[in-house]
Chains A and B, each alone.
Chain A
Amino acid sequence: MNRTIGIIFGNRRSNFLQGIDKNRPLAVVPFGGRYRLLDFALSSMVNSGIRTVGIITPSHYRPILNQLGAGKEWMLDRKSGGLFILPGINQGIAGWESLFLLKDLAKNIEYLENDFSEYVVLCGCNQIFNIDYNEAIVFHELSMADVTFIYKDIEKEGQKSLTGTYLKMLADGKVCGFMTDEEIFELAGLLPVFIDMVIINRKLLMEIVAGYESIENIGLLDVLIENKQVLSIFGFPYKGYFARIESVSDYFQCNMDLLNLDVRKELFWGTNRVYTKIRDNPPTRYSGKTLVRNSLVASGCNIMGVLENSIISRSVQIADNTQIKNSIIMKKCDIGKGVILENVIMDKYVIIKEGTVLKGQEQAPIVVNKSAVV
């Protein structure tokens, strides 16, 4: 029997992707040519043997359902367990930033009640990684923890920003709180950044949800830290590739990371694959001689121009004499003759007419919104 079930919080609100996330939940922002952000969280759970996964959805959840269907591609179309859609609450302004809002869980408490599993893995939806939760669950059991926070050690040096939550840990691995800004500032070397993944005993989670029901907009993390004296909370390090998308430049950089062979190997070519919705496109067709340097190209495209350092999604049409450099082109864009693109992020179904030149900067790429005609 499966001892662990999963919950993905797919209702993280955002408006930091300059329109890419305007009419689209963050969870289904396209990524890496053929994936959606959600695919990574979901695939890791499935690859860890979790066969019951609930997705907490925002109120506008059509794109999420469209991507997931019955969960077939993730092997979640099960008789027992499988994929559960858990509609989240309308958060209001107060819940804007909170992670793992208890109200969302309270509304879907039957999902937790009706299961027989020991543990629940909770996960956010705007992160790129490939983790095997089994190791963390074994750690959770051996250390007899009530709660395990999963973190990633990052070098403080060279970080552009230090947003995020950092764990304050004791020598025995126990978590005693989150770092304050001063503590982060003072600490040198490695910083343990919390990567929005929590393993918690199911019954404990239910108790917490019931106990805090009367309090508006409180997040699970605050409750756990508040009760750190009575709970045994541990930190478990994740060592693989990790990126979190919280801005256009994160999004751009993280896509570009995929052009690095080591990153691709780690994310896509290990024993645990990343699953996504299958579209049954034909292979990509290159007509004429083209230079396609250091690029990732999905299926069903028709490419004639010159590509460099770019990520091209499915069924993109690129006419001849085009030069595309450092750009991310999403599904079914149509790029006319002689177009020059540099540092551009182009949402789905964009049409770029003949001869157009768009040049952004590496730090500030141009974002062209869905279905635009330029």
Chain B
Amino acid sequence: MLLAGGHGSRLGRLTKNIAKPALSFGGKYRIIDFSLSNCANSNIDTVGVLTQYKPFVLNSYIGIGEAWDLDNNYGGVHILPPFVGEDGGSWYKGTASAISQNIDFINFFNPGYVLIISGDHIYKMDFEPLIRQHKKTGADVTISAIEVEWLEASRFGIITTDDTDRIIRFTEKPTNPQSNLASMGIYVFTWPVLKKALLEDQNNPASDNDFGKNVLPMLLNQGKKLFIYRFKDYWVDVGTVESYYQANMELLLSEPPLKIFSPEFKIYSNEGILPPHYTGPRARIGKSLISNGCTVLGEVMNSILAPGVYVGEGARVEDSIILSNTRIGNEAWIRKAIIGENTEIKAHCSVGLSTGEHSPYAGITCIEDNTTICNGDLIEAGEYNTSSR
């Protein structure tokens, strides 16, 4: 069960019009590609995708999952929006409520185990060892956990274990974390345990219907067997504009921590078939990722271009992420910015350049999708452009 209904409100303008899992990442990918590819590469053939917030782009992108080889005769990808029944219906309140409203869906397939993952994370993970360990330990729940920086620990669900890796304490976003072992929001449940827990949680009016806040502490109190699975590779939740920017930029390192360039365990995406990118007679490109269908006539340094981006003559793009089908006009200058999809930056614009006196060079400039920035306009550094001008 793939939770993909999140808004990602801390991503501001980037997720104003699309759900966070549909946000572009690393040039040609969308964030949900990582979860879906992990499923496909782990031989998981039935995936329910729970959607809620502005799902149009996401739904049409996922389709029937054929881009991830998840279209098969039994199972396949199912998009599960909130729905009504004879007693009415409700929005998905929390992560647990999203799953409990779809108990019928899971019953239909009647699995032995249910893997719950999030569509918000960027990582390459084979779920098979996780599920094998879950079966071997006879656990009721296995939570995939990763060691995080102590400073960051209070952002996560923090786990304390005994020396057999059995969980003795689980605290969601603690102010004084006692460990730096963080839950990745990836859970394997034995299905009957999950079903019972969801029904109990549903009947508790005080509950927020959230796995981390309610369901897992409740199961722990009931003395159920909760174990962790230790994950040591790259995993990141791009919750904020800064972390989104940083995770993207890490792909430009000579040895990027996220191994998208290795042919093993491929990350699939639903790409349109575009021609190779073209570089003009005066193009200069340095330390950048360029996708198919781009046209680069100007200069692109330390940047990521998604498919179909146009960079005009004499334009300069530095330290920036340009999302798909955006057009950067001639002589425009973009620095440390994230430019949304289908946006047009007309000629001679400046985005993210410090103007001196009142705007010290700071932060990342975001321009939301489907915007037009008119000829010669100046968007100052760190200014989060609000509306089309």
Contacts and interface: CB of A to CB of B under 8 A. Distances in A.
A288 B276 CA distance: 21
Nearest to A34: B276
Nearest to B271: A278
10 contacts: A72-B66, A258-B275, A259-B278, A273-B272, A280-B269, A282-B289, A289-B286, A293-B281, A299-B291, A302-B261
Given A73-B273, A283-B28, A293 B279 contact: yes
Given A73-B273, A280-B269, A283-B292, 12 more contacts: A261-B278, A280-B266, A282-B261, A283-B26, A283-B27, A283-B289, A283-B304, A289-B285, A289-B287, A289-B301, A294-B280, A299-B292
Contacts of B296: 292
B254 A286 contact: no
B277 A285 contact: no
B275 A268 contact: yes
B389 interface: no
Nearest to B254: A287
Nearest to A284: B290
B267 interface: yes
B275 A295 contact: no
A286 B288 contact: yes
A289 B27 CA distance: 19
Given A294-B279, A296-B275, A299-B28, A286 B291 contact: no
Interface residues of B, number: 38
Interface of A: 32-34, 72-73, 258-259, 261, 264, 267-269, 273-276, 278, 280, 282-300, 302, 307, 311-313
A297 B286 contact: no
Contacts of B272: 273
B290 A273 contact: no
A293 B268 contact: no
A295 B286 contact: no
> What are the 10 A-B residue pairs with the smallest beta carbon separation, nearest first?
A33-B276, A283-B27, A289-B286, A298-B276, A292-B279, A283-B289, A283-B291, A268-B275, A296-B276, A286-B285
Nearest to A313: B276
A34 B293 CA distance: 12
- Which of B274, B290, B301 has the most chain A CB atoms inside 10 A of its CB? B290
Nearest to A292: B279
A297 B276 contact: yes
Label chain B's interface by main secondary structure.
loop
A291 B296 CA distance: 11
B283 interface: yes
B271 A274 contact: no
B281 to A, nearest CB: 5
A290 B273 contact: no
B279 A275 contact: no
Label chain A's interface by main secondary structure.
mixed
B260 interface: yes
Contact of A298 (B66, B254, B268, B292): B292
A27 to B, nearest CB: 18
A220 B337 CA distance: 60
A347 B275 CA distance: 19
B273 A280 contact: no
Contact of B260 (A282, A293, A312): A282
B195 to A, nearest CB: 36
A286 B281 contact: no
B51 to A, nearest CB: 23
- Which of B66, B276, B281 has the most chain A CB atoms inside 10 A of its CB? B276
B282 interface: yes
A329 B266 CA distance: 24
A274 B292 CA distance: 13
Contact of B278 (A264, A288, A290): A264
Interface in B220-258: 252, 254
A25 B66 CA distance: 29
A229 B301 CA distance: 67
B28 A282 contact: yes
A292 B285 contact: yes
B10 interface: no
A277 to B, nearest CB: 9
Contacts of A258: 275
Contact of A280 (B271, B274, B288): B271
A34 B278 CA distance: 13
A312 B289 CA distance: 15
Contact of A290 (B286, B289, B291): B286
B284 interface: yes
Contact of A293 (B261, B283, B289, B290): B283
Given A280-B266, A280-B271, A298-B292, A286 B287 contact: yes
- Which of B268, B280, B301 has the most chain A CB atoms inside 10 A of its CB? B280
